[in-house]
Amino acid sequence: MILSTPIRATDNYAPDGRKARLKIREAFPKMFERAYPAVDPATPILSVLPLLRFHEIDVLPLSFDAGGRQKGVFGFSCLARLMKVRPEGIGSFLKRPCEVVSEPLTTVRADRSLSSLLNVFLRRRFGFARVVETRGVGALLTLADVLGLYEGDTLTSSLTLEDVGSTAFSMPGESTIREVLVEMFDRRIRRVFISGTNEFVWDRSIIEHLFSQTVLARLARRGSEDILEIPVSGIGTTAAKNAEGRLQLREAAALLKVEPGQCLVFNGKVVTPWDVIMKPWKERELKIRDYR
């Protein structure tokens, strides 16, 4: 099993202190072909959150503010804000400008090293960042993108699922969305399993449900409703993929990148994209090909 060791990594260095050579633009040569346009900060929250699912991303960048800074709308933090709103105020909350739920968006230049991108993920505890060439040209890179670098051996690791797995956390199916979100925030996890099954819900599936046409139409019709009090088993779950603990991380990455939000389970443990990339990176067990 890997041990917890502190790291002192600067932007252009790996945790083991080696100078990085591979640049972000070299590792992801097509990233700007799918650049995401910046959203107007005045756009209602109601219109922005469904876009997170449509683009299958965790954050939508906003237009630059007057000071040249950029923020983003994060799905996870939007859910945290929603939990503080009284049922009778949810409708009004969703009509507010998305700027009120925005947070600073970490940006990395494309000419920085791949190491710098992974170090940003590690410091921010979020698996995504905005990568820019110029002020008006940018793209979002996520852990899902990095998973693909195992293919072709840009990334290599000798670890297995046994080395990086965590105990799967589960709750009864009758637990409410609110109760599940409380545990997600407290434990800093994105997936909660339904007790006795390999089925799980995650933050994006909750967003998909809460901002579906059915729920929003019902909310508009009734005027107020605590949409977070719905049993979590009724919002749509995803079946985790079964795997063996001896599976290599390269093989695990190939399984995880096929379906957004997917995770692997074995012997009561769960492995997510974060585990496959960031745990070995932090513990100096992930190697990037092409160093000086």
Q: Which residue ranges make up each domain of the chain?
A: 24-288
| Residue partners of 66: CB distance under 8 A and separation at least 6 | none
User: Tell me: the pLDDT tens digits for 173-220?
Assistant: 999 999 999 999 999 999 999 999 999 999 888 888 887 778 777 776
- This prediction's pTM: 0.85
User: Per CATH, is 24-288 categorized as 3.10.580.10?
Assistant: yes
Beta strands 107-109 and 128-134 are: parallel
User: Tell me: the pLDDT tens digits for 1-35?
Assistant: 333 333 333 445 555 555 558 999 999 999 888 76
Beta strands 59-61 and 71-74 are: antiparallel
| Residue partners of 122: CB distance under 8 A and separation at least 6 | 7, 9, 278, 281, 282
Name the H helices within 87-176.
90-94, 114-124, 143-147, 161-164
